[in-house]
Amino acid sequence: MTILKIADIGKIEYKRSLALQKRLVEARKKKQICDTLLLVEHPGTITLGKQTNNSDLVDEKFPIFKIDRGGSATYHGPGQLIGYIIMDLIGKGISISVLVRKIEKCLIDTLVEYDIEANRISGKPGVWYKGKKIASIGLAVKKWITYHGFCLNINTDLDAYNTIKPCGFDSRIMTSLKQLKCKEISEIKVKEKLVKNFVKIFDYDEIKYQYDSSTQLIIK
């Protein structure tokens, strides 16, 4: 039986969420916890992945973190749904490439429920719609345990992307559910749809939910 814990943390500073992920990775390696999906929202933050070029950072308006995930520069902020995935790849029986494809499918299936026929683009991880990027994916793996994850733009302030070249592209390449639907979108409903699709696509047998802003409870 495979079990997934879904921890809906809510708003949290990036530095705290990164420290939490690292603790959870160690706990998962020791089999103290099951696979865990952290759902969070950050204040405006820039993260720089391992493939970031110096020219990708345009403006230092937001706090900046150089981190160990794949990919280059991206923005995190209000109006995004961010998911950090603590998963034992060996236990799940999948490779990192299969994981990325499954995350993309989860995001694509969620967007279909809003009549948005999003797609993949070969060689460009993430989810796209008519040449614009609506969701980003960046992962790291430590002894077959994953961390970092994905972010989906829902009601995101797209002007914030002007501070970087997101994934090496012009900032105008980014879009959001709000922009595509021309209205504010319920972030709670998007979250519910995404969780449903995540559980289905990754085929978990049992789900444990946690709706608590206290990050101490997650590793109990």
Among all residues, which ones are annotated catalytic? 167
**CA–CA distance, 187 with 42 (Å, rounded to integer):** 14
| Residue among 156, 7, 178, 181 nearest 74 (CA) | 156
Q: What is the rounded CA–CA span in Å between residue 190 and residue 111? A: 9
| Residue of 98, 83, 100 lying closest to 35 (CA atoms) | 83
Q: Could you tell me the maximum CA-CA distance found in the chain, to the nearest angstrom?
A: 48
Give me the residue label for tokens 């959870």.
24
CA–CA gap between residue 40 and residue 118 (Å, rounded): 23
**In whole angstroms, what is the distance from residue 102 CA to residue 204 CA?**
13
Dihedral, CA atoms, 154, 110, 149, 39, nearest 10 degrees? Answer: 70
Runs of H (alpha helix) within 30-121: 89-92, 96-112
